[in-house]
Chain A
Amino acid sequence: MLILRRKKDESILIGDNIRITIVECGSEGVRIAIDAPKQISILREELSKAEVVNKDALMPQSEFLHAMQAALLKRHPQHQENTSDKEPGMEITTDQKDNIAAAAENES
């Protein structure tokens, strides 16, 4: 790995068309400006981690969900009374619950 020391307003060049300039240095962090062609993806590392976590969370299996809900409910029975009106969220009607149950059966 190459490690360089740069001061404010100094740049480094990567290849022919990427320039990274130090805009500001401070105790809170460093601000950098990146000039690069549009097709090059630039992402804060934590955002790319957040993408991976979201993808791993996609489409939970309904039988696992119900097992987790039952376990959580056991530990937080008081939550039922605490459900706040201001929280967004819709209830599933009985019909819809039947559909979910049917969907769960089809899955298994």
Chain B
Amino acid sequence: MNLITTAYGDIQYEKEDLILLSDGLFGFSELTEYLLICLDEEDSTLLILQSVQKPEISFAVINPVLLCPDYSPVLTPEELFSMGVEDSGELSYYAICIVKKNWAESTVNLKSPLAINPQTLKGMQVVLEGSQYQFRHQIGDLLQSSENLDTESGCDVKC
């Protein structure tokens, strides 16, 4: 199948590639089908979450572990049930970024990541209750604290 996107040109995809978010993203509940696209074929650091239903809608997402090595969200039993898994560790997580001109000022939303079951490609955006994560962490700050702690485990998220 072919999708003509506003920002990324023509994208060829198969039905099996579709990420299904049955509740959509917060504020975008009507958009339930997405593609995860690598910006660069050799690198999947930064990915694009592209809506299939509205070609102009896309988000930049990142694997949060790259910014915060000990990132380990804990979902509620209800959320795990609806994702069809027993443990939060079985899911893949993507954090949505607000990309600024100065990359270090870009922020990443660690508080409400997108959780995807890698087996079924079904996912949902969750809000991590009572966690130390926030909606807007500056990427520059996160990288600095994870570099400082390179030899230790974890990153020092100041929340």
Answer whether A76 and B112 are a contact pair too, CB < 8 Å, given A47-B26, A59-B57, A69-B45. Answer: no
CB of B68 within 8 A of chain A? no
Within 8 A of A (CB), among B115-140: 116, 118, 121, 125, 127, 135-136, 139
Please give, as numbers and ranges, the residues of chain A lying within 8 Å of B139 by CB-CB distance: 68, 72
Q: What 1/0 mask marks residues of chain B from 38 to 63 whose CB sits below 8 Å from any chain A CB? A: 11111111111000000011111011
Stretch at the interface among A2-10, A19-27, A33-41, A89-97: A89-97
Question: Are B27 and A55 touching (Cβ within 8 A)?
Answer: yes
A31 CB to nearest chain B CB (Å): 14
B93 CB to nearest chain A CB (Å): 10
Question: Are A59 and B56 touching (Cβ within 8 A)?
Answer: yes
A to B contact number (C-beta, < 8 Å) = 167
Question: Are A69 and B135 touching (Cβ within 8 A)?
Answer: no
Q: Please classify how large the interface on chain A is, using the bins under 10, 10 to 19, 20 to 34, 35 or more.
A: 35 or more
Q: What separation, in Å, do the CA atoms of A90 and B36 have in the docked complex?
A: 6
Q: What 1/0 mask marks residues of chain A from 56 to 93 whose CB sits below 8 Å from any chain B CB? A: 11111110111111011101100110010011111111
Q: What separation, in Å, do the CA atoms of A82 and B49 have in the docked complex?
A: 21
Question: Are B43 and A79 touching (Cβ within 8 A)?
Answer: yes
CB of B7 within 8 A of chain A? yes
Q: Which residue of chain A has its CB nearest to the CB of B45?
A: A72
Q: Which residue of chain A has its CB nearest to the CB of B143?
A: A75
Q: Which residue of chain A has its CB nearest to the CB of B40?
A: A69
Please give, as numbers and ranges, the residues of chain A lying within 8 Å of B157 by CB-CB distance: none
B43 CB to nearest chain A CB (Å): 6
Q: What separation, in Å, do the CA atoms of A65 and B63 have in the docked complex?
A: 15
CB of B155 within 8 A of chain A? no
Q: Which residues of A contact B (CB under 8 A)?
A: 44, 46-47, 49-62, 64-69, 71-73, 75-76, 79-80, 83, 86-100, 102-103, 107
Q: A65-B99, A88-B17, A96-B11 are in contact. List 19 more A-B contacts (CB 8 A).
A: A47-B26, A53-B96, A53-B98, A53-B109, A54-B26, A54-B27, A54-B59, A57-B60, A58-B57, A62-B8, A68-B60, A72-B66, A72-B139, A83-B44, A86-B118, A88-B92, A92-B11, A100-B7, A100-B8
Task: Report 30 cross-chain contacts, Cβ distance below 8 Å, ordered by A residue.
Answer: A46-B112, A47-B127, A50-B27, A50-B127, A54-B25, A54-B26, A54-B28, A54-B125, A56-B98, A57-B59, A57-B99, A61-B101, A64-B100, A65-B48, A66-B39, A68-B106, A69-B39, A69-B45, A72-B66, A72-B143, A73-B43, A87-B63, A87-B118, A88-B19, A88-B36, A88-B116, A91-B41, A92-B11, A97-B40, A99-B10
